[in-house]
Amino acid sequence: MQQRSVGASGLRVSRLGLGTMTWGRDTDEHEARDQLAAFTAAGGTLVDTAAAYGDGASETLLGTLLGDVVARDDLVIATKAGLGARRDVAGRGTRDTSRRSLLTTLDATLRRLGTDRVDLWQVHVWSDDTPLEETLAALDTAVSSGRVLYAGVSNYTGWQTARAATWQAAVPGRAVPVSTQVEYSLLNRAVEAEVLPAADALGLGVLPWSPLGRGVLTGKYRTGTPSDSRAATSHLSSFVEPYLDDRSRGIVEAVVKAADGLGWTPAEVALAWVRDRPGVTAPVVGARTAQQLRGLLGVEERTLPPEIDEALDDVSALD
């Protein structure tokens, strides 16, 4: 698999990342093992997790596979802190990006992973309850202590991204963010307005999550909700439902039509489109099974023809 630099940094990762949000909950040890083996066999190096995924279960499961399925040094492990597994009254994950919470979470992450450092540590969410300077100081401490090699942000708006990166770059020795992880797909292109320009101007690599539109761009929901899909589960149905509207259906049909003409799968079309957008380092994909993941890994040999890329760009453009 081709490798790309993360923004203007020296960190290099595979141009496709393996997401582990469901590991330890919907994805058991045997399935996770098969996925990691398939991913690394294809040359993948970037594995993304978070302390909030399964309240640490994802990190724990990944940790059990290090040194067994793959050597620790052969992976670029990216994880996140600042978002809790508990939900507030509005159903949102609790946010705590205080210095105390972030550094305590980092130590717990390292114990779960069974390693002495994280390659890329990202602030999972912005929080108005903690001064940004305090949050960023925690990144400085993590990097200077050797527990973290590179720092990043996640789910920040354009102005939040710019403020964080500019603050860190103002004083030599601070941990300047090298990446931003945001939702980006043919069904959600909102980051193109401000986040992508900010990332480009400040030298941050972009790591899109849900590049397949929360699974909708695979075409599996065209005729209903499959019983084995994420939308059929009580804890993920609300995650998928926003993309089951008329606009999304029109985009999905365009993707399916393009896939039929190319002899590809819809997932390959949608993933190739995101992967090769300007500024993107590596889309992060999660799969229910290793078989599904292997199908997605085939996109490494695919490049969308310019006319197809432009047509999808037009049909999915924001008003």
Instruction: Give the tens place of pLDDT for each residue, 287-302.
Output: 989 999 999 999 999 9
pLDDT at 234: 56
Strands 118-123 and 148-154: parallel
Closest to 124 (Cα-Cα) out of 216, 58, 28, 25: 58
pLDDT at 201: 98
Name the residue ranges covered by the structural domains of the chain: 3-212+277-302
Q: Are 58 and 24 in contact (CB under 8 A)?
A: yes
Q: Which of 53, 156, 184, 221 is catalytic?
A: 53
Q: Is 53 considered catalytic here?
A: yes
When computed from its CA atoms, the radius of gyration of the chain, rounded to whole angstroms, is: 19
- Calpha distance 108→162 (Å, rounded): 29
Helix, strand, coil % (nearest 5) of the chain? 45, 20, 35
Taking the model in full, what pTM does it have?
0.93
pLDDT at 87: 55
Q: Count other C-beta atoms under 10 Å from residue 146's C-beta.
A: 9
pLDDT at 289: 92
- Calpha distance 269→231 (Å, rounded): 22
pLDDT at 319: 73
Chain Cα centroid distance, residue 305: 25
Q: How many residues does the chain have?
A: 319
Q: Are 255 and 269 in contact (CB under 8 A)?
A: yes
Q: Residue 192 carries which DSSP code? A: G
Closest to 14 (Cα-Cα) out of 65, 60, 48, 55: 48
Give Cα separations from 272 to 16, 168, 293, 301, 309 (angstroms): 10, 33, 14, 10, 9
HSE-up (13 A, CA, CB side) for residue 252: 19
Q: Which CATH number fits domain 3-212+277-302: 3.40.50.9100, 3.40.50.300, 3.20.20.100, 3.30.1330.60?
A: 3.20.20.100
Q: Residue 116 carries which DSSP code? A: S
**Which segments in the chain show pLDDT lower than 70?**
85-93, 224, 226-236
